[in-house]
A and B are shown apart, each in its own frame.
Chain A
């Protein structure tokens, strides 16, 4: 009998609270996918290249796991609270019939375990399937190929998911039912009291709203100007001011919204307006929390999807798949012995050397090196930079050009080989011409625009008293396979001049490209990976494009996984908090619905009013989050890239907007689910009115 009751009640709970049941399943899916990250093809692959970083990421997982459990606790707690309130009368009857409190507690516990098992049984298979899909899609997108994919099931992730889930379920259950079971029996038969209207003067509301808007404005300004990112303290201050602003705005918002909503007097217009105002005035704190969670979810989703987008956007144009250090003969021999040479094109040389100048303290140089010292003067370039009108450009270039006092020299032939390997036209320099070279990653937007302006003035550089024209554009192509290691503040010079100026500290690199047909057959990443394995046992000192790619890929995969995961969790929790808060308020104010039916309001009219309430109640925090994210997303760009929003960041913004649009669709579905649930509640109220009257 006991177990039949458990099963029956469990089924009923799942049916009547589908929205929370689905929320729990989504959380379980997110949990499993996150915890089984280790088995994802991309991560398995990255482990071979960036094992330290991957290990660090995996070591971070428990922290994220703990944080998400903490947030999920609220989801479970709120949905549990709603369910217990809904079934209060039933518990009262059971107690009246003589059921012991301990047995009631056991009944509730058994039901909870039964439902948790059901959600795990549904959630885990979906999670495993989705995890495999994500794994395959990511590997395909990043060019790993899915040939090597094999099915993985992570029992550890299942166990952790189940354990974490059971832990928070039990904690929430103990809190809720512990409180409930201790109550007097009379409590179970009493209707929940309709809440007191919050009495607050309009002056307080005006002050609160104005103060809140001011705080928000200050936080927006700090975030957009980049001041918030200047230090941890500034960031904390901005976040605190922003959150305080949100709390103040929402606490004073009720009466103002009432004026807007009260405009519609038709039908149940006034009633709807009052219900909404009451909800906002009484429950503004959960509204703010939901709104902040939405904002966090928007920003994380925007950032995560943009990062995921760039996975497929890895620039495949590069000048070397491998860069070897050493003599050409050693390199060729090693390639031949390992068989790796069959997959590679002919190596080409990339030469660079430090230019010894007066800027190097004379006493530091050994005596025999002093003969290599040359005079170089960037005076005209620096003067041109000083003449720039834009202050940011001027300050940046004046300081930047001073670093050219002891530049690296790059031989033109080597640089042209780089260009050819990338399929670009070689560069031509006259005998009296040089070109500036900079690492593309180290030039901000102001540097680019400023440099373009001064190079347009045809400046010259003096080397050993001779004038050399400076080439019209700054060269930025990566010189070796690993993009992270790149020369900065260098000059490209014709080979004859290079021979004349180079110091004995010359370095020679051998760049090699993979054969095109090999890449076509196996895919870029797989091909590099195979050759890399062949070369692993040789004494050759080298680095591969894969290492650089792997590093970048790791950052992107890690950030997109983590951000999307957190966003989903935040999103589910925010929606659950809103749904529960709304439905509980509707339940508490059920008597009002009964009165309206006595006055002639039909079920349809009540449903229209309830739907309007749901729409506004959800839209309010969502709209606030959307407005905040309009400032939050650009601020993320400012903070992450250290520059103002440029055209390159447009993709980021667009991806953010796409996220907001798709989130709106999901939100619509959520709202419809709440409306459906509430309409059922309304129908039961309308019917109960009749039944109650009949029983009199």
Chain B
């Protein structure tokens, strides 16, 4: 199967000389179409920097980020703008909705920025509204929505341009347990039913248990990788394995695995 995302020797260093901080230090991995990959790790392990490099929000120091065979790390600013939103959908912890636009207008914003035809964007919004159950909240302003509703709107906004990959940075971070669970189930549904490729940063083992594969980062490198045994392992069992690893990780690297 062709890799949808191929990260090769990716490095992101801050500072110079002795003061250099290696946020991402030569990470390589690939993602296949339809995969739901989780990225975990303690604070400062480089997970958000890695996600931001992939999202083109941060320019890497070295390495390649190939999305569908094209190295996006070498893009100029204009190409990056094209790429953002169009090839990548982004879900933020704090939703990042425009508070002066209605749900519908928020969803349509990437379509307007990237010049999608009106008919097509209307068709997409109808499809997404039906799929994510947004009909009731489309004409509400973010201030009139619950956290879960806001994140569903943000998800629809991330999906409107049919991006190749959805990047999610702690998408459940600002939600209560019930809404967090609902959102994760929706993401899972998107992954299994629509074969959407999702890359999610999380520190929450429960959220991570919805993924099919988890990359655990420490000090800017991939420290460990967990794969869910799709046929034989339940989500609860996978969750157990994740918590075990995270506990050991918290107890000191020397004793781990």
Residues of A within 8 A of B (CB): 194, 196-197, 265-271, 274-275, 278, 589, 592, 594-596, 598-602, 605, 689-690, 693-694, 696
Contacts and interface: CB of A to CB of B under 8 A. Distances in A.
Given A265-B112, A271-B109, A598 B84 contact: yes
A266 to B, nearest CB: 7
Contacts of B77: 602
Most buried by A among B86, B101, B118: B101
A325 B83 CA distance: 95
Given A596-B109, A596-B113, A602-B78, A690 B100 contact: no
Interface of B: 14, 48-49, 52, 57-58, 77-78, 81-86, 90, 92, 96-101, 105, 108-110, 112-115, 118, 141, 143, 157
Given A265-B112, A594-B96, A693-B49, 5 more contacts: A271-B101, A599-B157, A602-B81, A605-B113, A693-B52
Nearest to B108: A270
Contacts of A268: 112-113
B81 A693 contact: no
A690 B58 contact: yes
Contact of B57 (A194, A278, A598, A602): A598
Contact of A194 (B48, B52, B99, B110): B99
A594 B97 CA distance: 11
Nearest to A605: B113
Most buried by A among B83, B109, B110: B109
B100 A274 contact: yes
A270 B105 contact: yes
Given A270-B112, A278-B100, A694 B78 contact: no
Contact of A270 (B90, B99, B109): B109
Nearest to B46: A696
Contact of A592 (B58, B90, B98, B115): B98
B139 to A, nearest CB: 13
A276 to B, nearest CB: 10
Most buried by B among A265, A599, A694: A599
Contacts of A602: 77-78, 81
B112 A197 contact: no
Contacts of A595: 96-98
A594 B98 CA distance: 10
A592 B113 contact: no
Contact of A274 (B57, B78, B101): B101
A592 B108 CA distance: 15
A69 to B, nearest CB: 38
A274 B105 contact: yes
A694 B113 CA distance: 25
A592 B99 CA distance: 8
Q: Which 10 A-B pairs have the closest CB atoms?
A: A600-B85, A600-B84, A602-B81, A274-B100, A595-B96, A696-B48, A599-B85, A693-B52, A599-B110, A693-B57
Contacts of B115: 266-267
A594 B82 CA distance: 16
Nearest to A275: B100
26 contacts: A197-B100, A267-B113, A268-B112, A268-B113, A270-B101, A270-B105, A271-B109, A274-B100, A274-B105, A275-B100, A592-B98, A592-B100, A595-B98, A598-B57, A598-B84, A598-B85, A599-B85, A599-B113, A599-B157, A600-B84, A600-B113, A602-B81, A690-B57, A693-B48, A693-B52, A694-B52
Nearest to B48: A696
Most buried by B among A268, A278, A598: A598
Contact of B84 (A270, A274, A599): A599
Contacts of A266: 112, 115
Given A197-B100, A595-B98, A600-B82, A694 B110 contact: no
A696 B47 CA distance: 9
A696 B84 contact: no
A278 B141 CA distance: 13
A212 to B, nearest CB: 25
Contact of B81 (A267, A278, A600): A600
Contacts of B105: 270, 274
A253 B51 CA distance: 44
Nearest to B158: A599
A693 B58 contact: yes
A194 B100 CA distance: 9
Given A270-B101, A274-B105, A600 B86 contact: yes
Contacts of B81: 600-602
Contacts of B100: 194, 197, 271, 274-275, 278, 589, 592
A265 B113 contact: no
A601 B109 CA distance: 10
A601 B58 contact: no
Nearest to A689: B57
B26 to A, nearest CB: 18
B52 A600 contact: no
A599 B57 CA distance: 10
A686 to B, nearest CB: 10
Nearest to B141: A197
A219 to B, nearest CB: 34
A602 B80 CA distance: 9
B58 A694 contact: yes
A245 to B, nearest CB: 28
Contacts of A271: 98, 100-101, 109
A201 B231 CA distance: 57
Nearest to B90: A598
Most buried by A among B48, B52, B100, B115: B100
B112 A600 contact: no
Contacts of A600: 81-86, 110, 113-114
Contacts of A592: 98-100
Contacts of B58: 690, 693-694
A264 to B, nearest CB: 10
Nearest to A265: B112
Nearest to A264: B112
B96 A598 contact: yes
Contacts of A693: 48-49, 52, 57-58
Most buried by B among A197, A268, A271: A271
Contacts of B113: 267-268, 596, 599-601, 605
B229 to A, nearest CB: 33
A58 B148 CA distance: 70
B14 to A, nearest CB: 7
Nearest to B92: A598
Nearest to B44: A696
Contacts of B118: 265
A403 to B, nearest CB: 70
B98 A269 contact: no
A29 B91 CA distance: 54
A602 B115 CA distance: 13
A613 to B, nearest CB: 12
A589 B114 CA distance: 22
Contacts of B48: 693, 696
Contact of B112 (A267, A275, A589, A690): A267
Contacts of A596: 98, 109, 113
Contacts of A601: 81, 113
Most buried by A among B52, B99, B101, B105: B99
A268 B105 CA distance: 11
Contacts of B52: 693-694, 696
A598 B109 CA distance: 11
A146 B90 CA distance: 73
A601 B96 CA distance: 14
B218 to A, nearest CB: 16
A266 B114 CA distance: 9
A694 B86 CA distance: 22
A602 B57 CA distance: 12
Given A270-B112, A602-B77, A602-B78, A696 B101 contact: no
A80 B49 CA distance: 39
A265 B90 CA distance: 23
